[in-house]
Amino acid sequence: MKEIPPEIRVFYDAQLVKERVPETSRFHYRKWLRYYLDFCTKYGLNQLNTENISQFIDKLKEKHQTEQQQKQAFHAVSAYFDIALPDKDKDAPLKNKKKGLSSKKRRLQSTNADWRPVFDALKAEITLRHYSPRTFQTYRGWVRQLQGFTRSKDPKLLTASDARDFLTFLAVERKVAASTQNQAFNALLFFSRHILKNEFGELNDVPRAKRRPCIPVVLSREEVDRIIERLRGPYDLVVSLLYGCGLRLSECLNLRIGCFNFDTGMLTVHNGKGQKDRTVPLPRAIVPELKAHLEEVMDLHEKDIKAGYSGVFLPDALAAEYKNAATELVWQWFFPAKTLTLVPETKELRRYHLHQSHVQKATRGAVKRARIPKRATPHTFRHSFGSHLLQANYDIRTVQQLMGHSDVRTTMIYTHTIQSQTKKEAISPLDFGPQDA
């Protein structure tokens, strides 16, 4: 049985949400729709002819489906008609449905609006502001969900009520986390201001999930060592830098050979979060391993040059300004990917850095093998870096600078992960001795 085409699935799921179909029943609704589409294909019927639904139900009766199942199937196919048929035909009786309407008029986008210029403009605005590619992916995802929720309503006709209904749906129906809801709110705010040029307003009456302070998971030094011991190269070096330098995963994987200065023992992080640069000390304990890894990267680079590859990917327009930069050693990734990437526009083969998902998968496996009962991810090592520095009596401003935090309040969260050095240690009353009672 064929799956529902993606262009149908996104609008159909939105319609089920609008009709308040319970989440536990949506799987069955999609199943009935697949059955109906296969039924029409098998017998050469028009999928959008509403008279075919009676034949479909008769077929279910022959298959000895229960009356309740038949009613659910009828409702599932009717929801498909609600998004597939024009509004002028939707309210008419089934027997009066017009036949022979062109497929162009029966497009799933109920308003026939084309959102492709919207996404092109969104990419242009984010690129203009030098935002991270991940920011574009996130904002595009939320705009796509808004498109599906409004059934591809013409973007020019979107109002504050559309955004309000969508955000309310996220908070009330989907019960998303506070951070997720705030992310969606920021994406729609950027979309309205810079793409639609139409301010939605403050949206004060939108139910907002209250964000609660979350204390990060922190590993002990022993646990960090146990995890690193169970990682193979180059993932052990990646995790060592995450913990030893307090790097974000994206910052670590974007390191190039020119970022390392072994003479001074410093590492320069370029274009971190917020497009900020900073320097951190290199862990002396892993310098020999870093130098050995650098030799392997240099050997790989020489093989790429001899094979005629086009070098690495470069940021922004650097490749246009410096023609040979992509093949220069200083610009090579410190953690290069094992395979080459084909650039469709130029048909060139270029090398990218390790993918984040590979590091995440390797870390999960190492944590499991180390039998550590904590929800540890690559970002946990950055949290551990900040906590262990505070535990070693480093002042909060130094830790803030090393971690690249814009606001010291972000760094202050790590004070909750360590025991205070000035206050009396809090213990459980069960641990009180007779003299303490």
> Alpha-carbon distance 310 to 290, whole Å?
25
Q: Catalytic annotation on 414?
A: yes
Interatomic CA distance for residues 145 and 8, integer angstroms: 14
Name the nearest CA neighbour of 336 among 294, 366, 289, 280: 294
Number of H-type helices and E-type strands within the chain = 18, 5
- 104 is a catalytic site residue: no
* Helix, strand, coil abundance in the chain, percent, nearest 5: 55, 5, 40
The C-alpha torsion from 284 through 285 and 290 to 295, rounded to 10°, is 100
d(CA 262, CA 132): 29
Read off the amino acid at residue 320.
Answer: A
Catalytic residue among 31, 34, 273, 358: 273
CB 221 within 8 A of CB 199: no
Catalytically annotated residue among 248, 270, 293, 364 = 248
Q: Is residue 200 left, alpha or beta, with left meaning phi > 0 and alpha meaning psi from -120 to 50? A: alpha
**In the annotation, is 273 catalytic?**
yes
Catalytic hit among 151, 153, 353, 405: 405
Q: Is 90 a catalytic residue?
A: no
Catalytic one of 379, 388, 394, 416: 379
Residue 108 makes CB contacts below 8 A (sequence gap 6+) with: 7, 8, 11, 83, 84, 152
Q: Which of 91, 75, 74, 90 is nearest to 16 (CA)?
A: 75
Known catalytic residue at 123: no
| CA atoms lying within 13 Å on the CB side of residue 67 | 0
Beta bridge partners of 351: 312, 340
Catalytic site residue from 164, 382, 383, 388: 382
Q: In 3-state terms, what secondary structure has residue 266?
A: strand
Euclidean distance between CA atoms 61 and 71, whole angstroms: 11
379 is catalytic: yes
The Cα–Cα gap between 286 and 216 comes to: 26
Rounded distance between C-alpha atoms, residue 279 and residue 267, angstroms: 6
- From 80, 139, 243, 414, the catalytic residue: 414
Calculate the alpha carbon distances from 264 to 83, 127, 279, 298, 358 in Å. Answer: 64, 35, 11, 21, 31
**Which residues have a catalytic role annotated?**
248, 273, 379, 382, 405, 414
